[in-house]
Amino acid sequence: MTERVTSRPTDIRVGSTTDGLTPISVAERKYGASWPQWLSLGSVALAALGADQLTKSIVTSRLDFNDQVHVAGPFSIHHVTNSGIAFGLFASATSLVILLTALAVAWMLYFFARSGSRHPVLPVALGLVIGGSVSNLLDRVRLGHVTDFLDFRYWPAFNLADTFIVVGVAALLLALVASDRKATTQRGVVASHIRRGE
C-alpha cells in the first residue's frame, strides 16, 4: 500500500517575502530629484550667487582694501581678501581649494540627483551650499581670492557666500537626521504590526 503525499500550499502573507517568513519592513521608494526640485535648487543657488556677488561688488566699489565702516558693537564692514576657504582656512593653497570646491559641488549635484526627494528642505539647503560655493569658486578662478567684509572682530571676516554655506550645511544635516529618524520610526511601526499579525 502506497502512502499518498499531498503537498501543502505555501502560506504567503501580505507584507512578507515569498518564503512567508522574512518580513518586509518598508516599501522601496525612489528618492531621485524631480524637475520641480531641480528648479527649486537652481533658483536658490542663483539667488545665493547673485546676492553674494552683488554685496562683494558694492563693498569693493565703496571701500578701499582694508578700509572699514563700524556698524554696531563688534560688527563692522571691513574690506579684506582671502585666498583660502571659509574664515581664512587654507589661505596658501588656492589651487587645491579650487579643485576641492569643484569636486564638492559635483558631488552635491550627484547626491541631489539620487536623493533630492528624501526631504522637502533639500533643494533649499543644497541650493544655498552650491550657490555660495560656486560664487566663491568664481572669484578664486577670476581673481585668485574672494572678498570678505563681514567682520565681528573676534572671528575671521567672511562674506555672504560663507554664511549661505554654513546655513545650508546645518539645514542639510538637520534634514538628513530628521529623514533617517522618520524612516526608523516607520520601520518600527511596521515591524510591530507584523509581530502582532495585523
Alpha carbon of residue 82 to chain centroid = 24
Residue 119 has pLDDT above 90, yes or no: no
User: Is 188 or 81 the better-scoring residue by pLDDT?
Assistant: 81
Domain parsing of the chain, residue ranges: 35-178
Write down the catalytic residue from 52, 139, 151, 162: 162
Residue 80 has pLDDT above 60, yes or no: yes
Range with the lowest mean pLDDT among 32-36, 155-159, 185-189?
A: 185-189
| pLDDT tens readout for residues 157-179 | 999 999 999 999 999 898 878 77
Nearest Cα to Cα of residue 41 among 153, 130, 118: 130
Q: Note if 148 is an active site residue.
A: yes
Kind and range of the H or E element at 108?
helix 94-115
Nearest Cα to Cα of residue 194 among 22, 27, 29: 22
Residue 59 has pLDDT above 80, yes or no: yes
User: Is 27 or 73 the better-scoring residue by pLDDT?
Assistant: 73
pLDDT of residue 101: 87
Q: Which residues pair with 158 in a beta bridge?
A: 150
Cell of 147: 572678498
- Which strands make up the sheet holding 75-82, listed edge to edge? 68-72, 75-82, 146-151
Write down the catalytic residue from 52, 139, 148, 151: 148
Around Cβ 12, how many Cβ atoms within 10 Å? 12
- For residue 109, name the pLDDT band (cuts at 50, 70, 90): very high
- Residue-averaged pLDDT of the chain: 82
- For residue 194, name the pLDDT band (cuts at 50, 70, 90): low
Q: Note if 162 is an active site residue.
A: yes
Could you say which DSSP state residue 117 is in?
Answer: T
Around Cβ 104, how many Cβ atoms within 10 Å? 15
Residue 186 has pLDDT above 80, yes or no: no
Task: Indicate the pTM of the whole model.
Answer: 0.73
